[in-house]
Amino acid sequence: MIILGLNHGEINSSAALYKDGKIVAGSAEERFNRIKKSKSFPINAAKYCFDEFNISLKDCNYVAQAWNPYATLNKFNPLISGFRARREDYFYSVPDNLMNLAEKREPKDWAVTNFQEDYLPPLYYVQHHRAHAANAFYLSPFEEAAILTADFKGEFETATMMKGTGTKLELLDTMSLPHSLGMLYSTFTELLGYRVDSDEWKVMALSAFDVDFEEEYQKISSTIHLLENGFFEMDQSYYKGAILDQPNLYTEKLKNLLGGRVGVKGETADIWHKKIACAMQKVAEDIAVHMLCNLFERTGCKNLALSGGFFMNSVFNGKIKELTPFKNIFIPYAPTDAGNSIGAALYVAHHIHGEKRKFDFNSSHIGPAVDSEEIKKTLERRKIAYTFHEEKEKKIAKLLAAGNIVAVCNGKMEFGERALGNRSILGDPRKVEIKDKINAIIKYRESYRPFAPVTIQSAVSKYFEVESDFTSHYMEQVVMMKPEYHDKLEAVVHIDGSGRVQTVSEDTHPSFCKIINEFESLTELPFVLNTSFNINGEPIVANTDDALNTFYNSGLEHLFIGNYYISKV
């Protein structure tokens, strides 16, 4: 079975290919068109998937789109179906009018369009949160798991509780607009003067500061009502994110509740920003714990799979085992909407068609690769001087140990928001000035934002307050670093003593492991600093030209593309 998965029209459109029982290729469209968080149809990403395996659309059994327009057929839409602008709108308007004649209007979790042309396979429309759930459960190592999805919204839903068993997903309960955990987080992102769907990272980073936020916490909590069914309600006199024709996600009442102030773009974060960020993060965690504890009561499962944009909140992810009864947790490498191309394809394969699952390790390295021949041709075309290093890991480790920052573009590109060693900027984790330099002259971002420590899987429990079998393959969890290492790893420990750790092993990332091992032989610390290879506001690099463009447009001085080394010094 071959399925092309699509996430089109949502933030960060993407395509992914399901083949031979697993996801084998995929990318966000932004990596090709170089438009950050592009909503364009993922034509280039889809072409990459086909070219990677020398197939075409006619070879696909199905196409899966991660949005179900038929989910909106629960109420007749006269603006679309009563006054259609084009006959092409029949795909929506005719079913909508027919549903208006039916005795019951109960759209399903998915719909399918069958074409007469043999070159167009059946097209499945998968409900947004079903795609999120599939992305989490079917990529997980669990045969059975409780599933929670949460984001701003998909169709009308904002969160779902589900149970996955084998190849099937059972829907337990849903929460719908206007109540939304993702909307709550975005509301305060905007109130603080940051960009919605972009700067939530900044708010999460601010929430680590040690400030007294009890008063703000009580005020924000007063706008939220927890329900017995595990969900919650937001007092709509404070929030208006569900009203699409009005500016701002917050009301004047919320603004006045929290000091009568709204953040200004570009201003330096002060005590007000920090208190609001800390209070809102705590309220969001309270809500998420409430939902998860109810989900555990419903399912009794010790395994938990999570997806949706809210679970990019690595600060909360690292606390789940401590705050809930769940013992085993899986969060995919792309829990955001971009990952729904993967989820839609998996949903069609497993839930609808019963394809047997494969329980392999799911690497995020499924994007386009750079190979030695292509790198060399590009460097010579652009007349760029280089040297070739057979043992590049040793050279990279030496540069890092000497206090240099090194960008790397190796092998296949990662899928998702996080660079995990193949499209990364690496630094010495011991020196705080390295973090400041990367923020100031390369990433062009706020100085308080932390970078990730990467370490060997077998060493993680020595340095962090975690169990010996702890893994964080996708940099998805923030955990506390042991105090005795704070001074030794200044560049990767956050203000509160935590770190968004990534763990690697010989099985999951042999080249990255070798860099870390070489660095340890020079410094006695099995760590490197890792951040994504891009400038603020631009997508992560995809190919050799992207890597060179970013290298020469930033303060970077050292670059490895494969085994080819380029230096400005």
Measured CA to CA, the distance from residue 101 to residue 107 in angstroms comes to: 14
Q: Is 115 exposed, middle or buried (0-12, 13-18, 19+ CB in 10 A)?
A: exposed
- Is the pLDDT at 86 greater than 80? The verdict is no
Number of residues that make up the chain: 569
Query: pLDDT tens digits for 369-380?
Result: 999 999 999 999
Residues 304, 330 contacting (CB under 8 angstroms): yes
- Which whole number is the average pLDDT over 190-219? 95
pLDDT band at 93 (very low <50, low <70, confident <90, very high): confident
Range in 260-269, 407-416, 439-448 with the lowest mean pLDDT = 439-448
- Is the pLDDT at 153 greater than 90? The verdict is yes
Q: What is the dihedral of CA 61, 66, 71, 73, to 10 degrees?
A: -70
Query: pLDDT tens digits for 256-303?
Result: 999 999 999 989 999 999 999 999 999 999 999 999 999 999 999 999
* Structural domains of the chain sorted by starting position, each given as residue range(s) with its CATH number in brackets: 2-68+109-128+354-362 (3.30.420.40), 141-331 (3.30.420.40), 367-567 (3.90.870.20)
Backbone φ and ψ for 342, nearest 5 degrees, come out as -65, -50
pLDDT band at 76 (very low <50, low <70, confident <90, very high): confident
Q: Please report, for residues 49, 137, 166, 329, the alpha-carbon distance to residue 359 in angstroms, rounded to integers and kept in the order given.
A: 22, 11, 11, 15
Q: What pLDDT is recorded for position 165?
A: 98
Residues 486, 465 contacting (CB under 8 angstroms): no
Q: What pLDDT is recorded for position 84?
A: 64
Range in 95-99, 353-357, 500-504 with the lowest mean pLDDT = 95-99
Give kind and range of the element (H or E) at residue 17. Answer: strand 14-19
- Which whole number is the average pLDDT over 204-208? 95
- Quickly count helices (H) and strands (E) in the chain: 18, 24
Q: What pLDDT is recorded for position 138?
A: 98
pLDDT band at 66 (very low <50, low <70, confident <90, very high): very high
Q: At what angle do helices 214-221 and 271-299 cross, to 10 degrees?
A: 50
| Helices (H), ranges, 426-474 | 432-441, 460-463
- Is the pLDDT at 245 greater than 80? The verdict is no
When the pLDDT of each residue in the chain is averaged and rounded to a whole number, the result is 94
Beta strands 564-567; 558-561: pairing state? antiparallel
- Is the pLDDT at 83 greater than 90? The verdict is no
Question: Which residues does residue 391 pair with via DSSP β-bridges, in sequence order?
Answer: none
Q: What pLDDT is recorded for position 427?
A: 97
Per the structure block, which two tokens stand in for 27?
Answer: 């990318």
